[in-house]
Structures are given as C-alpha cells and as structure tokens.
Structure 1
C-alpha cells in the first residue's frame, strides 16, 4: 500500500480548503499530456485512518470522488509505473491557499499517520511530493478559482521571472535538515518557506509530513539539481 502526502494547485480545493484531508476515493485529472485515470484507494483502510486521526484531535476532511492533479499523479506514475498498480491513499495537505498549516502541526499530523500505519499489517511506502524551491506564477496570485485558460496565461507571462526564483541555498538547508532529521529546523524552514523560497516551496510540508510518518528517521538525499526549465529545485531523498 502507498500513502502519498501531496499538495493541491487550487484544483481539487478551490472554495473550501482543508488543512489536511484523507481521500476515500480519488481520480487523477488529465494534465500535461497524461490521460485521466482512477486511483485504487482502499476505502476501508482510508476510513479507519480518518477515524484514527479524528480521535487523535485532527479535524481532517474526508474526501470522496476527489479529482487530483500532478502532485499525486507524477509520483505514482513515475515510481510505480501505473496509477492502479498498488492501493494508494492520498493525503492532501494545504500548501497553496493561505492560511496554511504550521510546520509544527504538519509534523504532528505526519507522526499521527505513522502511528496508525504502525498498527496495520500491510507493508507501506510513504511518499511526500512537491517542492523544493519554486514560485509558480499561478500560485503567486491570490485567486482561488482560475480557469485553465487563465492559469496557462499567467504561467506563460511569468515563466521567465520564475526561472530566476530557484534558491539552491534554501534547498540545501532543507535537505541537510532532512538528512539529520532536525525537526526544529524543518519546522522553521516550512514556516519561512514562502518568504525565502517562493510560493511553491510551501509544498515542503509534504516532505516533513512523510518523514514524520516514517518515524522521524534520517531521510538521505539521493540527487539534487536546480532545473530552470521546470522552475524548480528538484531532489529525491529516501529513508528505510
């Protein structure tokens, strides 16, 4: 089974934006040349996770028939090969529409998910997807209900400037804190992400949540590269 902590680019959540969600059923939107599809969400396990989190003091949103974008589609396709090859429970974390959950609350949320996973028999892969430093033009505007046409126009107009907003120094701080599992530094980096590394850097919340769900062990960087064509500081890190 796979747990994916992912953000949202104001597509699944526009008018009502929960800090944290648990998808009980979910599909993937057609995007970037990839077709739409359905995720194989184990609804009974997702329901139990939702109930566990509620009993632990997290007022999560139970999400049914939710349409998710590349924040979830890319890691599932790239790491697993196909959307439906493994059962997947998406856990949306608000990384796009302020006010955002604090770094401390994100760490607590991830740790509580980990406690639930410790009590089930399945072998679980935990993924955090998003970031590192980047500032997509469509997230720099405080407009929560953009059409696809307006989104594409804003991105095209701001792409040249966005290529200059990668912050390798901040990315290095995040990766160093992950490799040492320095949760105090990670919380600080999350809470200052937008100011230091752009609107998209808020997605590092998913890294913090995934690391906490994995038990707070060191997460070792495997590769890092600033990619101006993708306007993003890109990295992969793993823990066992």
Structure 2
C-alpha cells in the first residue's frame, strides 16, 4: 500500500510537449524525464483520492466557441499525438456544485457536459497517474491559446476559489497544472483556428528551427523561483510578464491556478530547456517536507 501523506493537498505542475510524444527513442530530455518520474513517485506516495486538473486546449475541443473557464462533467481522452484514449473518471457529483459555487463568485464558468480533451490534459495525466480512468478527476479548462485571454491573475483567483470550495471535502486532493514553460509553436502563433493535426504538423515543422530559438531559460528559471519563493505575487502577474516567453507560455495560467488552489510550499523538481521539443520543460511539486514524504 502507498504511504499516505500527512498533507491533505498536493500540487504538481509540469510541462507537456508534443515533441516528447514524438521522441519515441527518448533521445532528448533525460533530465525532464527523470523529474516527471520523480513527480509520479511522489503522487503515488500521496495516494490522491481526487485530482483537480487545470489544463488547456490546443484549439481542438474549443474552436468556434471558446470559454475563458470551463468545468467538465464528462470527458474522454482525444488520443492526439499518443495521448491517452478512454474516459476520464470525472467526479461530476463534485464538479457540478463546484461550477455553481464559482458562478456565485462571479467567475464566468462554462459547464461542459461532454468533451474530448487533447494532450493538454492527457499527457501530464498519463505521466503522473496512468491510463484512463484511474482516479476521480475534475477537469478545469483555462483558455491559454485563443485570444483574447483573461489575465493570468484571474487564474490565481480561480485557483484560490477552487481550493477553498474543496477544502472541506476531507479528501487527499492533487491539484495539477499542465503546460508551459517558454515555447512559441508556429501552430499557436498562427491566427487560423480549426487546423487539422496534419496542417498543424506541417506548420510546426516549417517553423521548428526558428521555434527552437524561442525557448527562454532565463524567463523559465525566474518563473520557477516566483512559484517557489513568492507565489502570492502571481496574483498580479500580467500578460506582459508572460510575453517574453512566447505564445505557448500562456499555459502557465494552469500552473498559477494549481499553485493557488493547493496553497502549499513548492519546490522545483527539475528544469531542462529542450530545444528539440521547442519547449522549456519543468516540474514543480509541493515540497516533500510539507507532504511528509522526506
């Protein structure tokens, strides 16, 4: 049986990248791979009873109508780029009242009754937890890809409210943020919506060399330091603060929400710029000391 943490909340934030899924020979990203394996070990030890997953969408699930925030009542894995297929075990009995409570607090939440979630959810879920379904989950979508975007400070407020609403459940809750860090894939720089995966691949391949140069390790490291040493400052983070890290870095809204929801001391597990995946790859978790896993 896994050790049960002394904490009631755990936070894991991790980068995802289609480049990692395509790197089937594991030629790149050894440092990140080791870090995500360590995060999974910590999650297994924590033994979550509920996962609240803050994720994004790469203009697949939400194309013509794009909510700023959405809470899912049912969800499947899209299976794009090798991400999981099957049905998530969505805790709809908790998700629906959570959405109602957020609406009461003036968050403009869309309730989604059926959706297929792409690798913005699936890749990190499979890395940390496993195949679908495994643990009851509440998927919370934040628009990180299709302008206009709400300010990242709004994600902090959202996460804090989610954490407050669920704190009374008496469950071990894992809060996950998936996305980032610095990257600027051509498919997200493009304004066209509704691209097929084939069109995305062609566009990204044509701009891959230029995109490699847009990884910004200095920005990434500063952001990681902020999460670990001054998380409250994320409440006033702005779109301008994110801009130097590229359009894909807007996904750190999911990290900001997860950090605010869990409200635990954080530590960096690993960071590695991986130009071949055109992304700065990082993992942060609740500190092992706080979790009682040291």
Q: Which ranges in structure 1 are unaligned for 5 or more consecutive residues?
A: none
CA contact (8 A) 1:93 1:205 kept: yes
Whether the 8 Å contact between 1:115 and 1:213 is mirrored in structure 2 is: yes
Q: By how many angstroms is 1:151 displaced?
A: 1.2
Aligned twin of 2:147: 98
**Paired position in structure 2 for 1:202:** 250
Confirm or deny that 1:13 pairs with 2:62.
Answer: yes
Whether 1:227 and 2:274 are equivalent positions in the alignment is yes
Structure 1 residue 129: Cα displacement: 0.6
CA contact (8 A) 1:178 1:218 kept: no
Q: CA RMSD in A?
A: 1.4
Query: In 1, are the aligned partners of 2:84 and 2:132 still within 8 Å (CA)?
Result: no
Contact 1:7 1:93 in 2 (8 A): yes
Asked whether the equivalents of residues 177 and 258 of structure 2 are also in contact (C-alpha less than 8 Å), the reply is: yes
Counterpart-to-counterpart distance in 2, 1:101 and 1:222: 29
- What TM-score, normalized to structure 1? 0.95
Q: Report the Cα offset of residue 64 of structure 1.
A: 1.4
Instruction: Assess if the C-alpha contact under 8 Å between 2:91 and 2:137 holds in 1.
Output: yes
CA separation of 1:27 and 1:193: change in aligned 2, threshold 3 A: farther
Would you identify which runs of 4 or more consecutive aligned residues in structure 1 move more than 4 Å? none
Contact map agreement 1:6 1:128 (CA 8 A) in 2: yes
Aligned to 1:128: 177
Q: Distance in 2 between matches of 1:228 and 1:193?
A: 22
Shift, 1:122, TM fit: 2.2
The yes-or-no answer on 1:172 pairing with 2:236 is no
Which moves more between the two structures, 92-101 or 140-149? Answer: 140-149
Structure 2 residues not aligned, in runs of 5+: 1-49
SS of the residue aligned with 2:203?
helix
In structure 2, do the counterparts of structure 1 residues 22 and 116 end up closer, same or farther at CA, with 3 Å as the change threshold? same
CA distance in 2, matches of 1:35, 1:21: 21
Q: 2:198, 2:252 → 1: CA distance? A: 27
Give the match for residue 117 of structure 1.
Answer: 166
Q: 2:95 aligns with which of 46, 66, 84?
A: 46
The structure, 1 or 2, with the larger RCO (C-alpha pairs under 8 Å, 6+ apart) is 2
Distance 2:235 2:189 in 1: 23
- Bigger Cα displacement from structure 2, 204-213 vs 151-160: 151-160
Once the two structures are TM-superposed, the CA of residue 3 in structure 1 deviates from its matched residue by 0.6
Aligned residue in 1 for 2:33: none
